[in-house]
Amino acid sequence: DAMVIQNPRYQVTQFGKPVTLSCSQTLNHNVMYWYQQKSSQAPKLLFHYYDKDFNNEADTPDNFQSRRPNTSFCFLDIRSPGLGDAAMYLCATRHGADTQYFGPGTRLTVL
């Protein structure tokens, strides 16, 4: 059974058109993460929520926002996607001292 679900798996948007990526979890984990992974590069942490507390990485562009309306869902909003934002976006969850569980990712294409 899928525990960390990301929708859609593939997303195409236009340059400058806002886009939202979705992540949901059935694990009831208190921490949720968003990573950006560009081609042939390491996953890079954008931000994470510890319960409702939002933690932004220092080098995450302002163009990237996140919402976590409840424990199960977390959204990544890209306000004005540029060509450089084309990447795989990974969601992950964690609880306590456990490790992180990753979703399958959403591949974003910007035209």
Partner 1 sequence: AQRVTQPEKLLSVFKGAPVELKCNYSYSGSPELFWYVQYSRQRLQLLLRHISRESIKGFTADLNKGETSFHLKKPFAQEEDSAMYYCALSVGSSGSRLTFGEGTQLTVNP
Q: Which residues in this chain contact partner 1 in the complex, by CB under 8 A?
A: 4, 31, 40-45, 48, 90, 92, 94, 97-105
Shorter beta-carbon distance to partner 1: residue 17 or 52: 52
Q: How far is CA 7 from CA 4, 11, 106, in A?
A: 10, 9, 7
In the bound state with partner 1, the residue whose beta carbon lies nearer, of 19 and 92, is 92
Q: What is the per-residue DSSP string for 58-104? A: TT--TTEEEE-SSSSEEEEEESS--GGG-EEEEEEEE-TTS--EE--
What is the chain's alpha carbon radius of gyration, rounded to the nearest angstrom? 13
User: From the CB of 1, what's the least distance to partner 1, in Å?
Assistant: 13
CB of 8 to partner 1, least distance (A): 15
Instruction: Return the number of the residue (43 or 81) whose C-beta is nearest partner 1.
Output: 43
Closest separation in Å from C-beta 94 to partner 1: 6
